[in-house]
Chain A
Amino acid sequence: MIIHSTRFGDIDCPEEKIVKIPSGIIGFPLSTRYLVLDHDRDVPFKWLQSLDQEELAFVIVDPVWFKPDYRVTIALDEIMELGRVDERDLVLFVILTIPSDDPSRMTANLRGPVIVNAGTRMAKQLILRDEFPTRAPVLHEAPMLPAAAGHSISLVECHR
């Protein structure tokens, strides 16, 4: 199927690539279907492009890339809506905010990461109970070692 996007024009998107976010990215409940767009070059950043609102897209990144010690604990009940969970299928992204006047001041929202179940292609934005900042500087963090995605998640039966 062809999807329309304000930033990238028309994109041919195989239907099996669609990521569903049933509860939406917080503040954008009307968009429940997204596509993860890679870049033509090898950069760790990707775009999460809405299929339901063509102007809506977020820059996402694997947090391990700039914050190797980032760890989140998720209760299994919290991600029930993502379908059957195999821990190896879980991938965590954080959303970046990039000021257009000075991109080097980009920040990452570590408090509200997006978790994707690659097995079911369902995702959800979490609000963590840990006191992570919503605006963590990205480029002032220690330089980065690429690491396997999914590294930073530990699943528990219960944490409330």
Chain B
Amino acid sequence: MLVLTRKITEGITIGPNIRVIVLEIKGGQVRLGIEAPHAVPVHRDEIYARILEENQQASRTDAVTLPPFMQLQDLVKKKA
């Protein structure tokens, strides 16, 4: 991993069109400003990790869970 030391208002440039700037450092937290094209997805690590974990859970859905589904669908229809 490349490690760089930066002060407030200083930044780093990644590739031709991505810039990360240190905006504020306070109580163990760092506020970063990120300039990147819209096509480049930028997310907090934990959000990406949550989606990934949820996808893994979802992929374990078994085909046999479908009959209860249809029952539920019928239930909804009756309610409506």
Contact = CB atoms under 8 A, between A and B. Distances in A.
A95 B30 CA distance: 34
A26 B41 CA distance: 12
A127 B47 contact: yes
A56 B47 contact: no
B48 to A, nearest CB: 7
Given A28-B55, A104-B68, A143 B62 contact: no
B38 A158 contact: yes
A52 B13 CA distance: 37
A58 B80 CA distance: 27
Interface in A1-45: 7-8, 25-28, 39, 41, 43-45
Interface residues on B, range: 20 to 34
B69 A43 contact: yes
Interface in A144-160: 144, 158-160
B63 interface: yes
Contacts of A96: 58, 61
Interface in B49-80: 50-66, 68-70, 72-73, 76, 79-80
A7 B54 contact: no
Interface string A99-116: 010011000010110000
Interface residues of A, number: 41
With a 10 A CB-CB cut-off, give which of A41, A95, A103, A144 has the most chain B CB atoms: A103
Given A26-B48, A57-B59, A127-B43, A95 B38 contact: no
29 contacts: A7-B62, A7-B63, A27-B52, A27-B56, A28-B59, A43-B69, A43-B70, A57-B59, A58-B55, A58-B61, A77-B38, A78-B39, A81-B39, A95-B54, A95-B55, A97-B57, A97-B58, A98-B69, A100-B60, A100-B65, A104-B68, A104-B72, A109-B58, A111-B50, A127-B41, A127-B47, A134-B54, A144-B76, A159-B38
In the A-B complex, list the 9 residue pairs whose CB atoms are closest, starting with the nearest.
A77-B38, A7-B63, A27-B52, A112-B51, A103-B68, A97-B58, A134-B54, A98-B61, A27-B55
